[in-house]
Chains A and B, each alone.
Chain A
Amino acid sequence: MSDIVLEARDVTRTFMISGGFMKPKRPLHAVNGIDLRIRQGEVLALVGESGCGKTTLAKMLLGLLPPTNGSLELDGNPIETMDRLRIAQTVQPIFQDPYSSLNPRKSIGSIITLPLKVQGDKDPGTWRKRADEIMELVGLPRRVYNNYPSQLSGGQRQRVAIARALINRPRIVICDEPTSALDVSVQSQILNLLQDLREELGLTYLVISHNLAVVEHMATRVAVMYLGRIVEEEDADTLFDTPKHPYSKALLESVLTPDPSLGVPDTHLGAAYPNPLDMPSGCRFHPRCIKAMTHCSTIAPRKIPFGDGHVECHLYDENEGKGMLAS
């Protein structure tokens, strides 16, 4: 289909980690066989715990890290055939922390117009005008053009980062925790801004987050990631109403409510996040799963299609599970 702007097929990224002095290097599978498709105009949210490979995946999608295996396509072009300027025109990131994503030694104007300079934009005379346009679009007052990041508030800085990402009108924007470093009062402003910009500029978002409130607010589709794999992918509404994978359920249950009398939710997940250097056998989630069955520890679950999405869990693989139990 032509409206697929980003496609990942069986993408794997392995890092070789030094095992220590005089010990052989060991592989760490940060991303392990991921399939993703994002359609034009969609907002796909990637959810998962810290260390599950979300950021590694984002770096690969930005062309900053080549995948060890598998293929990535932006707008129908394999990413390895595109030069870095073309990738930069197609996909842009927005980072979590606006205090570290803006160079403190550069003025706001030079930060926002950097993409134009890098792309070798022919007409330097229009840079100021284009910067003014994009600043207005993201809600920045014109007068900050000559200011420095240290003079701006967190919300304003994030707006600068958004302006820098959007000035060349990319098709895809990868938002890595776009609000988690901001004050609560500013978070919703930035989220609404991102929503408005998506409609206005026809953007496609990949939102990386572990804040499920953000995900519910923005996403049209949700992919749940666990230890380098996508264990469930679904329409946002379906996933929030009827999560299938036990891990998705646990994540949804873990959301804190504003009502203190409800206490801290029990996720049944325990504290033990598995060592990614020493992956559990079979289903990676089985040591923490409350519904684990005997064969979960030996056989990796298949990908089971479910309506528009899929889930990787033995609970939904009737045939295989029964066959195993019988034998």
Chain B
Amino acid sequence: MTIDTAKAPATMENQEPSPGAMMRKRVFSHWGFMIGAIVLIAIFLMALLAPYISPGDPFDQVLSRKLIPPIWSDSAKATWDHPLGTDHLGRDYMTRLFYGARISLLIGFGAMLISGVIGTTLGVLAGYYGGRVDMVVNFIITTRLSMPVVLVALAVVSIVGSSLTVVIWVLGLLIWDRFAVVMRSATQQVRALDFVTSAQALGCSTPRILLTEVMPNITNHLIVIATLEMAHAILLEAALSFLGLGVQPPEPSWGLMISEAKGMIFFDPWLITIPGLALFALVLSINLLGDGIRDVTAPENRN
């Protein structure tokens, strides 16, 4: 798949750069894509390097040092020992924020992977085969769409108990609908093209056609939906944790941090603002990245 882009213009009569080179050019000139990518990479590094860059331990409670405001406040209590202050149990807020990024990203990726596999399988099969398969898949999608996600997630979590794994599975099993709908219509479009008929006439097996002819042409849709659903899962996790049915204390989930601080919203508002802003930055960066991918891979942008 790699093309020698440096050589390409010299060897071709029509001086068009290779698709790879044109793609790189579009990526670097798309500011939304770049901002989203940079913020997301920063948060990712934050999560990855949390044990090395955070000032303390996320579970270490020092009640004598509770509710220290962040360093930008006028309070005399603010100290560089706790740049973002401490919470009501005296835990370092910056450390908890870094470790919280791990949980958000883990749930985002996990739920996105599970829902992506379910939704893409259903959608591609429905779009490729049509007819009865399509009818059955459409029925399953409609059934799923008629269930309110948060309500079902709350019910399931309260029955089987709540843990990180349970939250990932529950969300993954609930939010595949957009994958299925989009992959279905994308597959229908690709399936009608002659190169699929040509592959059939060459005697290709159906799995081979799906994997090598259809899938590569719908991956840009897949990536866009994957980013949207990842953001969706992160927000749902925050909501569940806020309601007390997601990640359980003392785990440092951003939703849980907001929930634990809700009693102090009028006195120590940074306790809510900081995880809120982190959540906002993460979801925004993922969405910017998704929009950017859609823009740089859109067919109307080609040539």
Cβ contacts under 8 Å, A147 to chain B: 3, 8, 12, 18
Q: List the 7 shortest-distance A-B pairs measured between CB atoms, nearest first.
A: A88-B203, A101-B194, A105-B216, A95-B194, A84-B203, A85-B203, A100-B193
Q: Which residue from chain B places its CB closest to the CB of A95 in the assembled complex? A: B194
Give, as a whole number of angstroms, the nearest-CB distance from A284 to chain B: 28
Query: Contact at B195–A151, with CB atoms within 8 Å?
Result: no
A119 to B195, CA, bound (A): 17
Contact A119 B203 (CB under 8 A): yes
Interface residue? B143 (CB, 8 A): no
Across-interface contacts of A76 in B (CB, < 8 A): none
A179 CB, min distance to chain B CBs, angstroms:
15
Tell me, in angstroms, the Cα distance from A44 to B72 when the chains sit together. Answer: 85
Question: Cβ of B146 < 8 Å from any Cβ of A?
Answer: no
Known: A95-B194, A97-B194, A100-B195. A151 touches B203 (CB 8 A): no
With a CB–CB cut-off of 8 A, which chain A residues contact B301? none
A95-B194, A148-B18, A151-B16 known; A103 and B201 CB under 8 Å?
Answer: no
Contact partners of A104 in chain B: CB under 8 A: 217
19 other A-B residue contacts (CB within 8 Å) besides A93-B198, A118-B208:
A62-B200, A62-B201, A84-B203, A85-B203, A88-B203, A89-B203, A92-B202, A95-B198, A101-B195, A101-B197, A101-B198, A105-B217, A107-B1, A148-B18, A151-B12, A151-B18, A151-B19, A153-B14, A161-B198
Partner of B198, one of A63, A151, A164: A164
20 A-B pairs with CB atoms under 8 Å apart are: A63-B201, A64-B201, A87-B203, A88-B201, A91-B201, A92-B202, A93-B201, A100-B195, A101-B194, A103-B216, A103-B217, A104-B217, A105-B217, A107-B1, A107-B3, A114-B199, A141-B13, A146-B4, A151-B14, A151-B18
Interface assignment of B303: CB less than 8 Å from any CB of chain A = yes
Q: How far is the CA of A141 from the CA of B195 in the complex (A)?
A: 22
Please report the C-alpha to C-alpha distance between residue A95 and residue B14 in the assembled complex, in whole angstroms: 24
**B residues in contact (CB < 8 Å) with A:** 1, 3-4, 8, 11-14, 16, 18-19, 193-195, 197-204, 208, 212-213, 216-217, 302-303
**Interface flags, A96-110, vs B, CB<8A=1, else 0:** 110011111111000
Number of chain A residues close to chain B: CB under 8 A? 39
With contacts A64-B197, A92-B201 known, is A150 near B303, CB below 8 A? yes
Given A150-B19, A151-B14, A103:B195 Cβ within 8 A:
yes
Please, which residue of chain A has its CB at the minimum distance from the CB of B303? A150
Closest to A147 in B: B12
| A70, CB-defined interface residue at 8 Å | no
CB contacts (< 8 Å) of B216 on chain A: these are 103, 105-106
> Which of B202, B208, B213 is close to A88, meaning CB atoms less than 8 Å apart?
B202
Q: Which residues on B sit within 8 Å (CB–CB) of A64?
A: 197, 200-201
Report if A309 contacts B (CB, 8 A).
no
CB-based nearest A residue for B204: A118
Q: How far is the CB of B292 from chain A (nearest CB, A)?
A: 20
What residues of chain A lie closer than 8 Å to B213, measured between beta carbons? 103
Q: How far is the CA of A89 from the CA of B203 in the complex (A)?
A: 9
Q: Is A321 an interface residue (CB 8 A)?
A: no
CB distance from A230 to the nearest CB of B (A): 23
Residue of A nearest to B1 (CB): A107
Tell me whether A143 is interfacial, beta carbon within 8 Å: yes
**A164 — which chain B residues lie within 8 A by C-beta?**
198, 202
Closest-by-CB residue of A relative to B11 is A143
Per the bound structure, the CA–CA distance linking A93 and B204 in Å amounts to 14
A93 to B199, CA, bound (A): 10
A100 to B216 CA separation, bound complex (whole angstroms): 15
Q: Is A115 an interface residue (CB 8 A)?
A: yes
Task: Give every chain B residue within 8 A of A59 (Cβ-Cβ).
Answer: 197
- Give complex CA distance A327, B302 in Å: 69
Q: Mark A131-156, 1 if CB is under 8 A from B, else 0.
A: 00000000001011011101111000
Q: Are B217 and A118 in contact (CB under 8 A)?
A: no
Nearest CB on A from B23, distance (A): 11
Q: Contact between B194 and A115 (Cβ–Cβ < 8 Å)?
A: no
| A64 CA / B212 CA spacing, docked (Å) | 19
A81 CA to B8 CA, complexed, in Å: 47
Q: Complex: how many Å from CA A59 to CA B302?
A: 32
CA–CA, A62 to B302, complex, Å?
33
Given contacts A100-B195, A103-B195, contact A148 B202 (CB under 8 A): no
Q: With both chains docked as a complex, state the minimum distance between the C-beta of B150 and any C-beta of chain A, in angstroms.
A: 35
Which residue from chain B places its CB closest to the CB of A85 in the assembled complex?
Answer: B203
Query: Is the beta-carbon distance between A93 and B18 smaller than 8 angstroms?
Result: no
Q: Which residue of B lies closest to A64 (CB)?
A: B200
Whether B3 pairs with A118 at a CB distance below 8 angstroms is no
A141 CA to B198 CA in the complex, in Å? Answer: 23
For A63, the chain B residues whose CB sits under 8 A away are: 201
CA of A59 to CA of B196, assembled, Å: 13
B199: chain A residues at CB < 8 Å are: 103, 114
